Each structure stands twice: as C-alpha cells, then as structure tokens.
A and B are shown apart, each in its own frame.
Chain A
C-alpha cells in the first residue's frame, strides 16, 4: 500500500565509548560516612571503588563525553549519525529529553532523538531498538548511550544502597552492515514485582535485596540462553559474558549457569560500581580498550532492573 524501503542488510556495532567521572570513592571513604567495612562491601557486592559525579557531571554531559568518544573511535563524523537514543532512569529533568540535547552538543544535525527508561536494562533495550531501526531502514547510523547519575538518587546515610550505586556513561555506534552483528533482542518484564526496586519517598533508590538476588540468580540465565539460541550461538562460542554490573555475586552466579566456562566474565563492577544502564557499555568499552575483546569476539549481554525488566542479546565486537 505504501512505499517502504527494502533493506536486506544487517546492523552491527562499529565502536564503543565511555566516560567515568574523575572522582574515585573507595570503600575506606564510605567507612567514614556510614557504618560499613571494606570486607563487608567486597564480600556482599564485590565493589572496591566507584566513580561519583562531580558538580559539573550531569546525565547529559556524561552522555556527550561517552558518545563523542564512540564517534571518534569509530572514525565517524557527527553528520553520519541520524538517530540518537539515550537510555537513562536518573535524569532530573524529564523535559526536554536528554537525547536531543546530547545530539546538538555533539554537532549531530537534526537526528531522531529519544530517551529510553528500562532502568538497568536500558542499554540492551536501546541497542535492540537501534538494531531494528537500522535493519528496517529508519536509520543508517545510530548513537546509543547509557548514562546515569545514580548518586543523586541515593540516600548517603543508607549503608545498604550507598555502597552499591555509582555514576558513568557508555556508548555504542550501531551501523548498517552486510552481516548481522547484533542478534535478536530477547526482552520482557515482570510488573507484578514492581515493588522490589523503587524510589523510597520518591527520591531514594531502594531494593529488596533478597528478592532481587533470588530473581536474578534463578530466572535470568534462561533469558540469556534464549538470546544465544535465537542468534544461533552455542555457549561454547562465547568470548565473553557482559551482564549488567549489579552485584558481583549476581554476575558470577548467572555466569556459572550459562555452560560457558571459557567465556570471560565482565567484572567491571569492582572498580566502577553499579551504574545501571551505563554498566554494560562501560564494561564493554573498557574491556575492548584493555585488549580483552579482540575484533570479532562474540559477547552475550544481559540487562535487568527496576520494573522488573530484562533484555539480552548477542553482539559481535567491532
């Protein structure tokens, strides 16, 4: 009935980028603030230190920095980009959206621009949308960013949460390609458990630790395995598993259930903390930079968080 473009090609990630605030907060620093200890934090959540935004770091500024780095790494100029998606759940001002501001600051002229809130699964959702947009012909090159300033939503006197959350941003450029470098996204939600992670008093992140731990460690490996199956990838083919960096014990528990003993498991949380939707691209970008993920590596991502929501897909490293 209507004319629509025919686009037989695929979508692939061309480059990653990331930004972390310079301010390092160690467990020893937190010991001075709340009743906790380095030993307690490391054994419960696996974090040694995290980055906390300075006064000049905002969700948008961190997204701009990470996005700019991804463009530079991919050898792309701003005019190549025709869609910008920012995944975030911690932006203070909902209006205007963040993506348009970020695009303008990067010199990208009049791209499609929207924000996604899928909490800590936000990057996987945004990546799925970007891949679909490219494959459907709605965009040629998409800048996908996860950026979070969780420190503004944490009660710094609450020792159960302030030791976990942190700030940062990660980005990826998704481009049209001959082959499919991004597998089908497997996503879902469980809204009847919305009360497991929420804002206490409308302003402080709160989670029921045991319920979240049980959910993540007993149900989510099935989502990850389904993403592998949908992409036609065997667990043994995986170079790495990069799940949301929620808690090192959750990361390791899910990893054990995948049947991929040789796959490198992202442990970025140890020095980056839990940065919600930024954690997966942040980890990926840092792992690529360290040479841990050579070009062509097959990586499984898995995001999960408040909602409850989750998403997973397989990607090929550029």
Chain B
C-alpha cells in the first residue's frame, strides 16, 4: 500500500526539490504560487521537478497530466490523490 503523505510533508518535500533544481528558496514554495509566473520555473525544469517528486513520493506524474499542474497546490493535490 502506498504511503500517505500529509499536505505539510508534500510542501516541505517540494520545497526541497525546487530549491535543489532551480535554486529558489524552499520557503518561497507556498501553495498559491504559480510555477511559471511566481517561481519562474520553465517547462523543462517542471519535468525535472516531476521526476524528482515521483521518486520522493512514489507517484507517477505523466507529461500529459503535468501540463495541468499550474500551482504548487495543484501538485500537492495530485500527489495526495
């Protein structure tokens, strides 16, 4: 059975991943932030973040779903589902 992660766990994990990949401080990674407009993350970095999140949270984030994940909250919700 897959591990269940709390919203706080996922936010913390995403913050670490994003800091590692694009250098944005983890504290900036809050639910309402839009990846492109607020965090200045491009489409290729989104793939790297998705791949890292897949490993960390044991989920599959395919490219056709990735394009619908616009905000940090979208990713949190996707991983929780």
Given the interface pairs A214-B51, A217-B51, A218-B51, the reply to whether A44 lies near B44 with Cβ below 8 Å is yes
Expressed in whole angstroms, the minimum distance between the Cβ of A209 and any Cβ of chain B is 6
Whether A7 sits at the interface, judged by CB under 8 Å, is no
Expressed in whole angstroms, the minimum distance between the Cβ of B6 and any Cβ of chain A is 27
Partner of B63 from the list A43, A44, A210, A217 (CB cut-off 8 Å) is A210
Complex CA–CA separation, A213 to B45 (angstroms): 10
Whether A180 sits at the interface, judged by CB under 8 Å, is no
Residues of B within 8 A of A (CB-CB), count: 11
Given the interface pairs A210-B63, A210-B66, the reply to whether A43 lies near B47 with Cβ below 8 Å is no
Say which size band chain A's interface belongs to: 10 to 19
- Which residue of chain B has its CB nearest to the CB of A214? B47
Complex CA–CA separation, A249 to B22 (angstroms): 12
Q: Is A249 in contact with B63, judged by CB distance below 8 angstroms?
A: no
Q: Is B42 in contact with A210, judged by CB distance below 8 angstroms?
A: no
Interface string of B51-81 (1 = CB under 8 A from A): 1000000000001001100000000000000
Partner of B44 from the list A208, A218, A249 (CB cut-off 8 Å) is A249
Whether B17 sits at the interface, judged by CB under 8 Å, is no
Complex CA–CA separation, A253 to B44 (angstroms): 11
Whether B32 sits at the interface, judged by CB under 8 Å, is no
Which residues of B are found within 8 Å of A249, using beta-carbon distances?
A: 44
Complex CA–CA separation, A211 to B44 (angstroms): 9
Whether B48 sits at the interface, judged by CB under 8 Å, is yes
Which residues of A are found within 8 Å of B43, using beta-carbon distances?
A: 209-210
Q: Is A209 in contact with B44, judged by CB distance below 8 angstroms?
A: yes
Whether B10 sits at the interface, judged by CB under 8 Å, is no
- Residues on B lying within 8 angstroms of A by beta carbon are 42-44, 46-48, 50-51, 63, 66-67
- Residues on A lying within 8 angstroms of B by beta carbon are 43-44, 208-211, 213-214, 217-218, 249, 253
Q: List 24 A-B contacts (CB under 8 A).
A: A43-B42, A44-B42, A44-B44, A208-B63, A209-B43, A209-B44, A210-B43, A210-B44, A210-B46, A210-B47, A210-B63, A210-B66, A210-B67, A211-B63, A213-B44, A213-B47, A214-B47, A214-B50, A214-B63, A217-B47, A217-B48, A217-B51, A218-B51, A249-B44
Given pairs A208-B63, A253-B48, 5 additional interface contacts (CB within 8 A): A209-B43, A209-B44, A214-B47, A214-B51, A217-B48
